[in-house]
Structure 1
Amino acid sequence: MLKLHELLEQRSATLAKMNEAHTADNNEAFTAAETELRTIDSKLERARKIDAADRAEPGKPINGDMKLDNEIRSKFRVTRAIAAAAGLGVDAGFEREIQAELSKRAGRPAEGIFIPTEIFETRVLTTSTGGELVPTDHRPDQYISALTASSVVRGLGARVLSGLTGNLSIPRETGSPATGWVAENAALSSSDADFDAVTLSPKHAGALSEFSRNMLLQASPDVEALLRQMLARNIGLTIDKAAILGGGANEPKGVLSTVGIQTQAYATSLFVTNAEAIAKADIANVATARRSFLTTNTVKKIVSLAIDGEGRPFGIPTVFHNEPVTFSNQVPTTLNTDEHGLIYGDWSELLIGIWSEIDILVNPFESTAYSKGNVSIRAMATVDCAVRHPKAFVSVTGVDAAAAAV
């Protein structure tokens, strides 16, 4: 497909043909050139529309573009991006190229550089942050990963809205018009639908750290992994925790802090309590496709060790009624002092709004770092969370690890 400037060049050449045919009074040549001009004008109109749409494009959602997604995962290097921003002599052509796409998605230019969040979705090998970094030439496969929690809410099905600008208000129907049967020639009763709105507003999470010049110049893949692990842990997991139990104000309001979610008090056993939670979701017409439980690893231990009256293990599927269940250290264990979080619901009802990819600002001139030849790095992301329908979630209360029975 010809580009806009190529079509404009063709049009100029065709106009020249028309002028030449007109001067020579060559009607046949003039008619042919005129037909060609109409074809080119039609193509120009389409090209201009495509060009205008491309300029207005808010950015491709990388998660939906597998080719671009795979290219970023395989090529993008945090170390190269940061080293280039610090003025070090590295080849960071791809990292610079992808900044335009990330700026479209964020709806603004980066304060420093954008880091695509997709690169954190696969766990990476990391080394200890203490001591010297060891060259990886000999046995890179033997490096030991740091023991960190894993993000869970996206994997459970939370909806991610990227490329946001300003506050986002989404209308929500809270009550449908009443319907009913009437006799012939009888009037229907008037009834209106009720609406409110779910609002997402920018909240900021960040981390401040310092890296040595040698670290950024290292060719070691473990240095790249170390930087990714730091950014993913300090920001990604912070967002994840807030989505579960954020308190609002400066941080997002998570599921457990949302007004209106259903609650189910612990009664008799986890088996019975979980059945009651499922029933409450059923009665509230909660969709079943993305329903699942989320709770702590301590609850997993309780369930795993429990046995029935004949000494046989209950088993996790039995206790959770064959519903999907995820155990995570991201779930709070100190609700009301000693309660463990246990949530059941449709996780696609959780919205995660993203205004900014992870935004890295590199400052090689910060006084403390500069005196040592190091680089100060600030990483920030701007997000918010909201629940579309609070009744889509049931919070099980009173799960005390010391007293709960299966």
Structure 2
Amino acid sequence: MKLHEIREARAAKVQEARALLDTAAGKLNADQQKTFDVLKSEITALEGQEQRAAFVEECERRAMGQPADKHVAELQSRISVIDAINAQIEGRSLSGALAEFNQEQKRIGIASRGVLVPASLFEKRATTTTAAQIVPDDYAPNEYVGLLRNSMVVQRLGARVLPNLRGDLVIPKAATAHTAEWLAEGDKLTGSNATYDSIKLTPRHVGAKTELSRQLLQQSSPAVEALVRDDFVQIVSLAVDKAMLHGDGIKEPLGLIGRTGLAGDVQTGNLATLSWATFLELFEKLALVNANPNGIVTHAEVVTKLRSTLKTTGLPGYLMENGQVGGINVSATNQLAAKAGSPDKGRLIMGDFSQILIGQWGALDILANPFAQDSFDAGAVQIRVMATMDMQVRHEAGFVLVEDLGL
């Protein structure tokens, strides 16, 4: 059944169960109890079907670049991060869209000591809104000056997000394919068997503590909501983004840099002698495994080298022009560090970043603590932000890692 059909069927069963309870005034006889138990079992089964169907539809929408379910998107757009924090500080119940979202999360089995908010709120850097008519004259949150932070690149380059996971996720993967045979008249096919492998995403937890002033949380300005979201984007998303590149595979996901050294893993390239010819060898490595690169990730020092190295000696034109090398966009970020040494060596990763899968378990968990000693003394509120995710790569050979570029 389609998702809307499952929801309609569940609603009908719930209505039937309610009518049964109302008829019996809450006191069921043996036959009514038996009927109610059947309805309860059917509702539970339909809820499981709904959860699975919603997960598959959301994955399909994301894979095709389509927007989320309209009802879900509309509900999430009405959720306020500041309301989630203030409800905990003031000890009041959640209300509105925030309450509806948390009830839905608990219904599907996600527990939290804090308040859950959609991870989708933090997938893009929030922009600050000017709302002069409701901002106090003596306070201007819309003019807040934040830190200069690293640029996030991995998800922007096409990493696929798998939201709302429950248990560990195992995805089957073809290791070798069937082969075709040419036959002479009367020959028999010998046959060949494909072999299979799998990749597994396991929940890993990332979190941080931050502190917000009580005055900031009390400002009745949409700009403050954007400011707080922006801060949380940087706290959690930067940690996740860096793990995609440098993760150690222990507490963190195993990043691209750690996926070299075995057959089928991330390929390695050589740019110790930086030239157009050595760069073409990187493209060739990817072409030989049928990979189509959609991005190059590197850091500022390498960008400087690429912009200042002639493509052909004595002729105009540099390796990197208009933000591209060989038609592939170059993204520079301090999330990717140079390889330490004496001297340091430049790093870059080229490949098809849509091969990266990012699994998300549940929503972002925000817990406010107005009684932490240092924060309490300053009249501030300590905020703990936690997220659960993992990362895997569908085809590691679709990437080439370079770690020997002279700076």
TM over 0.5: yes
Q: Who is 1:354 aligned against?
A: 360
User: Is residue 126–residue 146 contact of structure 1 (8 Å, CA) maintained in 2?
Assistant: no
2-structure distance, mates of 1:137, 1:75 = 28
- Which amino acid is 1:390 matched to? E
State the Cα deviation string for residues 11-50 of structure 1 (Å, max 9, x = none).
9xxxxxxxxxxxxxxxxxxxxxxxxxxxxxxxxxxxx989
Give the drift of 1:122: 3.3
Question: Which position in structure 1 is the counterpart of 2:123?
Answer: 121
Question: Per-residue CA shift, 1:128-182, capped at 9, x if unaligned?
Answer: xxxxxx9467876644443222321111111111122222222211112333222
Cα deviation for residue 73 of structure 1 reads: 6.3
Query: Is contact 1:305–1:313 with CA below 8 Å preserved after alignment?
Result: no
Q: Partners of 2:208 and 2:295 in 1: how far apart?
A: 32
1:253 aligns with 2:254: yes
Q: State the 1:317 CA deviation.
A: 5.3
| Worse-superposed segment, 149-158 or 297-306 | 297-306
SS of residue matched to 2:284: helix
Corresponding residue number in structure 1 for 2:337 = 332
1:237 Cα shift?
Answer: 0.6
**Aligned mates of 1:139, 1:215 — CA distance in 2:** 10
Provide the residue aligned with 1:82 in structure 2.
85
Residue of 27, 31, 46 corresponding to 1:53: 46
Q: Provide closer, same or farther for how the CA distance between residues 280 and 226 of structure 1 changes in structure 2, counting only shifts above 3 A.
A: same
Q: Give the Cα separation in 2 of the matches to 1:151 and 1:69.
A: 26
Partner of 1:213: 214
- Write the distance in 2 (CA, Å) between the matches of 1:8 and 1:114: 30
Measured after TM superposition, the shift of residue 126 of structure 1 is: 7.1
1:266 aligns with 2:288: no
Contact 2:159 2:353 in 1 (8 A): yes
Q: Is contact 1:173–1:195 with CA below 8 Å preserved after alignment?
A: yes
1:149 alignment partner in structure 2: 150
User: Within 2, Cα distance between the matches of 1:272 and 1:371?
Assistant: 62
Structure 2 letter corresponding to 1:395: L
- The answer to whether structure 1 residue 316 and structure 2 residue 309 are counterparts is no
Tell me, in whole angstroms, the C-alpha distance in 2 between the residues paired with 1:181 and 1:214.
77
Distance 1:361 1:139 in 2: 26
How far residue 68 of structure 1 moved from its aligned partner, in angstroms, is: 4.4
Q: Secondary structure at the match of 1:232?
A: helix
Where 2:97 maps in the other structure, the secondary structure is helix
Retained in 1: the 8 A contact 2:352–2:399?
Answer: yes
User: Which of 354, 366, 369 matches 1:363?
Assistant: 369
Secondary structure in 2 aligned to 1:171?
Answer: strand
What is the alpha-carbon distance in structure 1 between the residues aligned to residue 110 and residue 93 of structure 2?
26
SS of the residue corresponding to residue 399 of structure 1 reads: strand
Q: What fraction of aligned residue pairs are identical, expressed as a percent?
A: 33
TM-score by structure 1 length?
A: 0.75
Structure 2 partner of 1:227: 228
**Which of residues 65, 68, 75 in structure 2 aligns to 1:65?**
68
1:341 paired residue number: 347
**AA aligned opposite 2:251:** N
Q: Displacement of 1:241 after TM fit?
A: 0.6
1:300 pairs, out of 280, 298, 303, with: 303
CA contact (8 A) 2:339 2:403 kept: no
Deviation at 1:299, TM superposition (A): 2.1
Q: Is the 8 A contact 2:78 2:97 kept in 1?
A: yes
Describe the SS at the equivalent of 1:111: coil
**Following TM superposition, by how much is the alpha carbon of 1:250 offset from its aligned partner in structure 2, in angstroms?**
0.4
Normalised TM-score (structure 2):
0.75
Retained in 2: the 8 A contact 1:83–1:90? no
- How far is 1:74 from its partner? 4.3
Count of paired positions: 360
Q: Which runs of 5+ in 2 are unaligned?
A: 1-7, 21-40, 130-134
- Establish whether residue 96 from structure 1 lines up as the match of residue 99 from structure 2: yes
The amino acid of 1:98's aligned partner reads F
User: What CA deviation, in whole Å up to 9, does each residue of 1:175-217 have, x standing for no partner?
Assistant: 1233322223333334322222211111111102333433322
SS at match of 2:295: strand
* Aligned equivalents of 2:242, 2:145: Cα separation in 1: 25
8 Å Cα contact 1:292-1:323 kept in structure 2: yes
Alpha-carbon spacing, 1:193–1:158, altered in 2? closer, same or farther (3 Å) = same
What SS does the aligned partner of 1:118 have?
Answer: helix
Q: Is the 8 A contact 2:364 2:386 kept in 1?
A: yes
Aligned to 1:378: 384
Structure 1 residues not aligned, in runs of 5+: 12-47, 128-133, 402-406
Question: Separation in 2 of the partners of 1:231 and 1:135?
Answer: 24
Partner of 2:283: 278
Partners of 1:8 and 1:72 in 2: CA distance: 27
Residue in 2 that maps onto 1:174: 175
CA distance in 2, matches of 1:299, 1:335: 14
Q: State the Cα distance separating 1:398 from its structure 2 match.
A: 0.7
For 1:374 and 1:166, the matched residues in 2 are separated by: 37
Q: Is the 8 A contact 1:342 1:396 kept in 2?
A: yes
What secondary structure, in the 3-state scheme, does the structure 2 residue paired with 1:100 have? helix
Distance in 2 (alpha carbons) for counterparts of 1:365 and 1:67 = 39
Contact 2:296 2:328 in 1 (8 A): yes
Deviates more, 1:115-124 or 1:349-358: 115-124
- Cα contact 1:303–1:319 (8 A) shared by 2: no
Question: Structure 1 residue 400 and structure 2 residue 406: aligned?
Answer: yes
* Shift of residue 55, structure 1, vs aligned partner: 5.7
RMSD: 3.7
- Whether the 8 Å contact between 2:116 and 2:363 is mirrored in structure 1 is yes
Residue 33 of structure 1: aligned partner: none
1:104–1:163 contact (8 Å) kept in structure 2:
no
1:242 paired with 2:235, answer no
Residue aligned with 1:244, SS: helix
- 1:86–1:56 distance in 2 versus 1, CA, 3 Å: farther
SS in structure 2 at match of 1:376: strand
Give the distance between the partners of 2:255 and 2:104, measured in 1 at CA: 29
User: Is the contact made by 2:141 and 2:227 (CA closer than 8 Å) also made in structure 1?
Assistant: no
CA distance in 2, matches of 1:167, 1:354: 11
